[in-house]
Amino acid sequence: MSWPGSNNNLEEHLGSRPDQKIWAIGGGKGGVGKSLVTANLSICLSLMGYKVVAIDLDLGGANLHTCLGVPIPDKTLSDYLTKKARSLNDLVTPTPIENLSIISGAQDDVGIANLKQMHKAKILSRIRELDADYVMLDLGAGTTFNTLDFFISADQGILTALPEPTSIENTYRFIKSVYHRKLKMAEDLLEVGPLIDQAMNAKISHNATPSDLINRVIEINPTMGRKLQSEVNRLIPKLIINQVRTQADIDIGFSMKIICKKYFGINLDYIGYLEYDATVWQSVKKRKPLLMEFPNSSLVSNFDRIIHRLLNLA
């Protein structure tokens, strides 16, 4: 089968370093492989010669360090948010892999998972100061505003899902939340806020869909409708299906792409899948990076294909 080929008011905090790219890896629920994907995409980029910093933003449940084969770093985001560390650069911890460093998430304060707007803006404002070609954000599960805002503010948002009903449903919920949050945060769309709320609160089974919202707004206010359409067009999340065992599992990604276009009017980009492989839990158990510990795993070619799609090399 052949493969088919974001702005908001937080993005001003990201400054302008066109040479640096920020990728955010999210998903609807826990246990779908977000840290696995973040770790191994980071490794792929570093092996290609790019300088990479992976940031664990799963605040309160940080485990990215385990996937990268390093112990819990001495300094984490907790130290930055409590002003024990003066900059994000003070938190950068090398990994055994050349060109790849990590900033670990909070380990000691469950309450820190609920970041204040000030803290969120502070992190976003300093990310561009990191000495890195790519900054990888490993996001927490769910649809908190923190998670949604980091996902929206990244140059590229990547979703990880499992080929099972609960994960698929939660992925749709995440996309719907991102869509809603993005539109609500666009200041020049405030006057159509009630219409947006009405469309987003409708269930998928109802006739009215979020994509119908644009047509309705265009009828009422063509200028506002075009702005709305522009915001939606810029939302192109990437999708990875993890732990596939069959062709039917692989095809779920194509189905999700079609449904997202029909229901949300969003171009979901299905960039690849990861085969089910027992080496994943073996690498976690050994606390060794998957791609380095098991170079003959089928996942190596899976990640290679995905990274080439993300870099537009395929």
Residue 91 one-letter amino acid: L
In CATH terms, 11-302 corresponds, of 3.30.565.10, 3.40.50.300, 3.40.190.80, 3.30.1550.10, to 3.40.50.300
For position 249, what pLDDT does the model report? 97
SS3 label, residue 273:
strand
Residue 179 corresponds to which tokens in the numbers above? 């869509």
* Domain ranges (residues) in the chain: 11-302
DSSP result, 294-312: -TTSHHHHHHHHHHHHHTT
| Centroid of chain to Cα 291 | 20
- The residue assigned the tokens 């947006």 is 196
- The residue assigned the tokens 């999700």 is 256
Q: What is the pLDDT of residues 185-217, one digit of tens each?
A: 765 666 666 666 665 665 544 556 777 777 777
For residues 159, 162, 167 and 172, what is the CA-based torsion angle, rounded to 10 degrees? 40
CB distance 225 to 231 below 8 Å:
no
Output the tens digit of pLDDT for each of the chain's 314 residues: 333 333 343 444 444 455 889 999 998 777 788 888 999 999 999 999 999 999 998 766 667 888 888 888 888 888 888 888 888 999 999 998 999 999 987 665 544 556 677 778 888 888 988 999 999 999 877 767 888 889 998 999 999 999 999 999 999 999 988 988 887 776 566 666 666 666 566 554 455 677 777 777 777 778 877 888 888 888 899 999 999 999 999 999 999 999 999 888 889 999 999 999 887 877 777 777 788 888 888 899 999 999 999 998 64
Residue 196 corresponds to which tokens in the numbers above? 């947006």
Q: What sign does the dihedral 195-200-206-210 (CA atoms) show?
A: positive
Closest CA to 244 of 236, 254, 234, 235: 254
Residue 123 corresponds to which tokens in the numbers above? 């992190």
Q: What sign does the dihedral 44-241-158-140 (CA atoms) show?
A: negative
What is the phi/psi pair of residue 94, to 5°? -65, 155
The conformation of residue 214, written as its DSSP 8-state character, comes to H
Residues 6+ apart with CB under 8 A from 82: none
The conformation of residue 188, written as its DSSP 8-state character, comes to G
Residues 6+ apart with CB under 8 A from 255: none
* pLDDT more than 90, % of the chain: 38
What is the rounded distance in angstroms from the CA atom of residue 289 to the CA atom of residue 67?
A: 6
Closest CA to 58 of 90, 116, 104: 104
For position 226, what pLDDT does the model report? 82
The crossing angle, in degrees rounded to 10, of helices 165-185 and 247-264 is 30
Q: Which residues pair with 239 in a beta bridge?
A: 159, 270
For position 112, what pLDDT does the model report? 53
For position 228, what pLDDT does the model report? 80
* Cα radius of gyration (the chain): 19
